[in-house]
Structure 1
Amino acid sequence: MEQPSYHYAVMARAIAIIDAHGGQPLPLSDLAHAIGMSEAHVQRVFTTWVGVSPKRYQQFLTLTHARDLLRDRHTTLDAAQAVGLSGSSRLHDLFLRWEAMTPGDYAKHGAGLTIRASWFPSAFGDVLAMATDRGLCGLAFAADTGRDAAWADLAGRWPQASFVMDADAIAPWTQAALAGIGETRLHMMGTPLQIKVWEALLRIPSGHVATYSDIATSIGHDRAVRAVGTAVGRNPVSLLIPCHRALRKSGALGGYHWGLPVKRTLLAWESARVAADSAIAPMP
């Protein structure tokens, strides 16, 4: 049986090749040749993990996709809350439990805290995962920044903590996070404003987007859009706390801490999966 790490490697290469093609049509034969596999094999692995064919996926990587999302799947966070997508002990996608570190723990900058870390493969390139005994406290994509920068970024947030490389200890949470199955726990450390912003991000459903001003309004800081944007960028747990779903009012992507190519592919991947789910949903 093919292992998930193998699938991730195929996916990462395929997505990078498609993204580098600049929105121009890329025949399956050319993609398969670039990867060095048969067309049938690439089609099968890609469709299994993304939910749609490589050809269909390309439609979600266009430069106008973010604006299309803002037009068609713009979520106001108040509406998301009304349908039960929030709460202090909420489940995100039914599998994510999270808690914030206490202000005292935050003020200590990790003193007395042991953080276990390791690298894992993903469909979006190498991922650095870090976790306390209570859950993941960091998840960084290194495809754009590089491994050294990703490590310095996450480790620098807890300068007084002790770090131990221990893949086995954090693999269950990390693999559940990357696969979207099983339970993932988060243990977050941030300022009160950052925590509020990250809670707001958790209320944006997969395949949808919100604007930075939506987020500012939802936390009661209408005029603090810039501060909200900074807090979005400081999110230490990529993918699970979906800062990639925050866009500018114009429909522009805005920034992304782990690189705009990763943000673009995450939005495309989620849109493709929503489209695939819609296509197979039973008629009411």
Structure 2
Amino acid sequence: MNELAARCRAYDTVARAIRFVRERRPCQPTLQEVAAHVGLSHFHLQRLFSVWVGISPKRFLQYLTTEHARSLLRGEYDVLAAAHAAGLSGPGRLHDLMVACDAATPGEVRSLGAGLLITYGFGPTPFGWVIAGTTPRGLCHLQFVNASDHLDADDASDAARQLQADWQHARLVRDDAALATSIARAFARSGQGQALHVLLKGTNFQLKVWQALINVAPGEVVSYGELAARIDHPRAQRAVGSALARNRIAVLIPCHRVIRENGEIGSYRWGGDRKQALLAAEAARTVTHACP
């Protein structure tokens, strides 16, 4: 837990470094300039950045300056298809983690969780604190918490109220230790054996959108229009956006991989910087695996 807490505290520093490199890419900032911007020695930043992202700041800058990287982040799907053909995403299942989805029954949706016991807990991740909730049928809640390097009582209370609002009549029991393994698996870089089950509550259309998102590979991005086409509703971009806004399972249902039609990163319910950090980390690992 101490190690995870340390990685959580490092999130703001690494995110600021990523943002600085991205914004100053045309000027090709040096490692010393990036380190000075975030207030670390260049040696400390090199080590922290490499551990967290998986590559060095210099390698990340090189990645950003390539035409492939620009095409990847801006959603030029013909180039992405070529990248896939070159093996950048790897064969087989498109998701790092095996995620098995189970929809809440109509009765469960109508009853707002009456008679349901939800065990929930908080934990640090490389991208900030999260709250997770689980039922006997699987993980029903995973959201980022607006906290800094530590979680205070107000942060926890606000996050718990949101969970209760989603399942108004369910009984909530806090147990951070019970959720530690599920949180760790959700943010693991690769799958760990058995599938991680999630319980989804939404309309049939929302479920289709969320299930399609699971098949968007790490390092890949799609537009709202392409995601709509994947579920055979090519004119439903707005409805797709609404479904993403209702997603209660962060990262595992990877709405951070959806960008605007014009190639802009776009908004993210848990913060644009966090979305950029998630995409950058995934894409950098993809390139690292393809080019050892």
Work out whether the TM-score is over 0.5.
Answer: yes
Length, aligned pairs only:
266
Q: CA–CA distance in 1 between the matches of 2:72 and 2:142?
A: 27
Q: Distance in 1 between matches of 2:183 and 2:5?
A: 13
Q: How does 1:1-284 map to 2 (within 5 A)?
A: 3-19=3-19, 23-24=23-24, 27-32=30-35, 38-58=41-61, 65=70, 68-71=73-76, 72-73=79-80, 85=93, 92-143=95-146, 147=155, 150-181=159-190, 182=192, 183=194, 184-280=196-292
How far the C-alpha of 1:163 sits from its partner, in A, is: 1.6
1:194 deviates by 0.9
Distance 1:61 1:116 in 2: 41
> Is the contact between residue 15 and residue 273 of structure 2 (CA under 8 Å) also seen in structure 1?
no
> Does the 8 Å CA contact 1:130/1:139 hold for their aligned counterparts?
yes
State whether residues 117 and 129 of structure 1, in contact with CA within 8 Å, keep that contact through their aligned partners in structure 2.
Answer: yes
Contact 2:123–2:131 under 8 Å retained in 1:
yes
Opposite residue 49 of structure 1, the aligned amino acid is: W
With the length of structure 2 as denominator, give the TM-score of the two structures: 0.78
Partners of 2:210 and 2:70 lie apart in 1 by 24
Deviation at 1:120, TM superposition (A): 1.4
TM-score between the two structures when normalised by the length of structure 1: 0.80
- Rounded Cα–Cα distance in structure 1 between residues aligned with 2:184 and 2:124: 9
Deviation per CA, 1:217-271: give whole Å up to 9, x if none: 2222222221111001211111111111112221122332212221122111111
Which segments of 5 or more consecutive residues in structure 2 lack a partner in the other structure? 83-90, 149-153
Q: Is the 8 A contact 2:64 2:70 kept in 1?
A: yes
- CA 1:274–1:143 in structure 2 vs 1: closer, same or farther (change >3 Å)? farther
Consecutive unaligned residues in structure 1, runs of 5 or more:
76-82, 87-91
The letter for the 2-side match of 1:198 is W
Cα RMSD, aligned residues only: 3.1
Determine if contact 2:99/2:214 at 8 Å carries over to the other structure.
no
Q: Deviations over 1:7-32 (max 9, x none)?
A: 33224422234426761255434554
Name which of structure 1's ranges 98-107 and 149-158 shifts more when overlaid on structure 2. Answer: 149-158
- Return the offset for 1:139: 1.4
Distance 2:33 2:274 in 1: 22
Deviation at 1:131, TM superposition (A): 1.6
Deviation at 1:144, TM superposition (A): 8.4
Q: Deviations over 1:94-126 (max 9, x none)?
A: 533332222221221111112222221122222
The answer to whether the Cα contact below 8 Å between 1:61 and 1:265 also exists between their aligned partners in 2 is no
Instruction: Assess if the C-alpha contact under 8 Å between 2:72 and 2:80 holds in 1.
Output: no
Query: Deviation of residue 272 (structure 1)?
Result: 0.9
3-state secondary structure, aligned to 1:138: strand
Deviates more, 1:48-57 or 1:29-38: 29-38
Q: CA deviation at 1:154?
A: 3.6
Q: Aligned residues: percent identity?
A: 36
